[in-house]
Structure 1
């Protein structure tokens, strides 16, 4: 009888171990069943790899408002060329990312002083932290107009672009601290296209050359899509490619 307490404790321990083992077995079994249902394999490691691959190959959706906003834009700017501006938006975004990859802000040839300053600040921050950010094999899926707004003398059209690339950030030793060189990175960006409607209302404007001027008297053309100078009556030929410029790029996480 003196060994009875020890036997009871031993039996309890065996029961606990057995229960834990059974619980682990059932969890593993259920996990494998779920993995087999979702990914066609009971190998958890393989399933995780498939899940990463699927995520890496699925483009981000864009908030497309082109069909709703483009008629309003064309009403304000009859000469606005959507396809031309969309191509410019994609080109400036691609050159912006390549400039980061090459650590060379001069790669960005289109854009306002504000955008170029934004790029320089980003490159300098990475350099100060001993980091190198890369966007390789960039492929654009889709670009649409996302917003159209007028504020403080500016007209701003926001293009939203979904793209894929190989994105990595490495430290000073070349070790990858963020991203992957194996899996593609799916992301999207907003790119702002700006037109200065009224310089007198614009706050913190770095690009005083933006907007249109009368070729005869030099007065700023303040009204949207104006074809005649309100000061001297001279006919205005509006060249959108010069009147609009890109002012800001932002990644949407």
Structure 2
């Protein structure tokens, strides 16, 4: 009888200890889960207000751009990029292409029409934080500058989406785009001109005058979320 009571008491004691630790583990698990959910919500809130990072290469690339285009105005171009980035989202918002024929090449305007037709996302309150030069490249006579722009907009659910756009521009006159001119020669010595923006022949020193005023025209826009 005594052993039975001892076993019964020991069982009750063991069960109480196990219950105590089980309750403690459950409470601690709930606390960890609550902290985890809070951390996720905080991260999502921070992501809504923090602009996307940009890879600026202006300090390295601007001397090369100005070597080919001495009149290149970096500040003016950055403002142009910000306006074009805003125009991109307003085009999606209003479901019509708001870029004019003088702002982009024909293929770009075609792609914009397709993007407007494909877009199924509601866009409100588009805003552009900043734009930076991130690449300068060339192919034959053609020269391209690429900018990154940190943007935001609100979706249908009212959530603020932080996005990054890459906008690529090509330097050309209207005739260059329409005729797809890829080879230029010095009118004096016939030497090939290395860049459409060159003002002086590298071989004979002849001053070069472009057949048509040059401008930077939109060539491509890529959205990166």
Q: Aligned partners of 2:62, 2:212: CA distance in 1, in Å?
A: 18
Secondary structure of the 2:56 match is coil
Q: Aligned partners of 2:23, 2:211: CA distance in 1, in Å?
A: 77
Q: How does 1:1-253 map to 2 (within 5 A)?
A: 21-32=23-34, 34=35, 44=37, 48-105=40-97, 107-109=98-100, 110-126=103-119, 131=120, 133-166=121-154, 168=155, 176=156, 180-181=157-158, 183-195=159-171, 207-208=177-178, 222-224=193-195, 225-227=197-199, 235-236=208-209, 242-253=214-225
TM-superposed CA distance for 1:91, in Å, is 1.5
Secondary structure of the 2:27 match is helix
Larger Rg: 2
Change (3 A) 1:16 1:65: same
Residue deviations 1:123-181, cap 9 Å, x none?
2223xxxx3x2332222222111011112542111001112221x2xxxxxxx5xxx31
Change (3 A) 1:193 1:211: farther
Tell me what 1:9 maps to. none
Change (3 A) 1:117 1:30: same
> Does the 8 Å CA contact 1:210/1:244 hold for their aligned counterparts?
no
> Does the 8 Å CA contact 2:150/2:165 hold for their aligned counterparts?
yes
Number of residue-to-residue matches in the alignment: 208
Change (3 A) 1:226 1:29: closer
Q: CA RMSD in A?
A: 4.1
> Does the 8 Å CA contact 2:86/2:127 hold for their aligned counterparts?
no
> Does the 8 Å CA contact 1:69/1:147 hold for their aligned counterparts?
yes
> Does the 8 Å CA contact 2:172/2:217 hold for their aligned counterparts?
no
